Structure formats: C-alpha cells, structure tokens
Amino acid sequence: MSVEMQLRPLRPPKDVLNDWAAELEAKLGRPQAELRKRGLSAYDFSSACAVEVRYPFGCTHRIKSAFVVVRPQGRQAAVFSEHAGYLEFELVEDCVVAEIREDIYWQE
C-alpha cells in the first residue's frame, strides 16, 4: 500500500481559524467568539516554538514560530504559524506531529 503526504489545499486563514475555533479555544484559553472576531495575534506565537509533521516514509515538514492543534479522531492537524500561514494536514497511519520548544543558551 502506498502512503502519501496529505497537506490539505490551502484555504483563507479566516476559514481555517473558524473551522478550528473549538480546538484553538482549548489550546489558547480564549473564547471561540473572541478568536473568530479578533483572530490570532503575534502574542500567540513564539520564536522558540516550532511544529514538525513527520511522515512514516521519511518526509518531515518543520514550521517555525508555530503551534499545532490536532483532531485525533478525524486524523487531522492544523498548524498555525506567525509567518507561514495556517496549514492543515491529513494524518496518515504512524504520522507524528510534534510541537517543539527550544530554549537555546550559548556561552561566548
């Protein structure tokens, strides 16, 4: 059986936000009505956070300054990013979605 990446067709950000408002409410702690009216802001994103969608056949999408919400029963994920837009994915079997926070310190 062939397994293919399933990046859903791009839609207007407002449509994606409206469709995922319930999951965003749970993730961000803000009412759906407020999210639909005001949308997301720069304060919702962190440059220390990224999302990786890892497919079992070796392909990985990495989106910086982003967070993810998932519908496990529907095998769907939506990645909301500050600079790359709002992306929706159909999750295939053994697909991994990781929200990664990196706090990097270095000594010069």
pLDDT in tens, 19-40: 999 999 999 999 999 999 999 9
Q: Are 14 and 80 in contact (CB under 8 A)?
A: no
Q: What pLDDT score was predicted for residue 6?
A: 67
Q: Are 81 and 63 in contact (CB under 8 A)?
A: yes
Residue 71 to residue 87: CA distance in whole angstroms: 14
- Nearest 10 degrees: Cα torsion 94, 57, 54, 8: -90
Instruction: For residue range 65-91, list pLDDT tens digits in order.
Output: 999 999 988 899 999 999 999 999 999
Q: What pLDDT score was predicted for residue 19?
A: 96
Q: Are 78 and 88 in contact (CB under 8 A)?
A: yes
